[in-house]
A and B are shown apart, each in its own frame.
Chain A
Amino acid sequence: MMIIAAQILLGLALLACTWRAWRGPAAEDRVLALDTLYVNAMLLVVTFGIRNSTSLFFEAALVMGLLGFVTTAALAKFLLRGEVIE
């Protein structure tokens, strides 16, 4: 029961991040919201793994965390310099 409440809270957090990524006045706001969205989705996958008592979801969560960091670093580098690899 508490896990389901936690999942509902994480879903509301996803909605809040989506709203900020939609409405963000600057590009940095959108990138920040996208990074938080990635981490919240990763935590949601981890809670699904807890509910099913399996460690199958662990690899998915690990890949999501890794991809989130790469995405945010590339987008921030693009905003900083105007190109990703120079």
Chain B
Amino acid sequence: MSEAASLLVLCGAVIAFGGSLGLVRLKTFFERVHPATMATTLGAALILGGSMLQLGSLHELLIGAFITATTPISYILLVAAARRRRAP
């Protein structure tokens, strides 16, 4: 186990945990969207980078590209739904 790979994975896990903790701690829905995006983009990128470094494969780029491309789409849809449902 190389040290750099485990350090990357640990940093990614800390960021993912921070994002999920923000999901618990913040007050309104529109505030809670922000830490969730942090957890699902930066945390996933760091952990997948550690996996690429450890296993020496490029497969994880597929997951990373998919997550990076689809997270904004789903969150934009969610925020649009929340705005529609809260409109007077």
List the B residue with the shortest CB-CB distance to A14: B20
Interfacial chain B residues near A49, Cβ < 8 Å: 51, 55
Alpha-carbon distance between A28 and B81 when the two chains are bound, in angstroms: 8
Instruction: Please tell me the number of chain A residues within 8 Å of chain B, measured between CB atoms.
Output: 47
Is chain A's binding surface mostly helix, strand, loop or mixed?
A: helix
Contact partner of B55 (CB less than 8 A), chosen from A32, A53, A72, is A53
Task: Check A35–B85 contact: CB distance below 8 A.
Answer: no
Task: Check B16–A43 contact: CB distance below 8 A.
Answer: yes
Contact partner of B74 (CB less than 8 A), chosen from A10, A33, A69, is A69
Task: Check B60–A65 contact: CB distance below 8 A.
Answer: no
Alpha-carbon distance between A54 and B57 when the two chains are bound, in angstroms: 10
Task: Check A16–B66 contact: CB distance below 8 A.
Answer: no
Binding site for B on A (CB under 8 A): 1-3, 5-7, 9-10, 12-14, 16-17, 19-20, 26-29, 31-33, 35-36, 39-40, 42-43, 46-47, 49-50, 53-55, 58, 61-62, 65-66, 69, 72-73, 76-77, 79-80
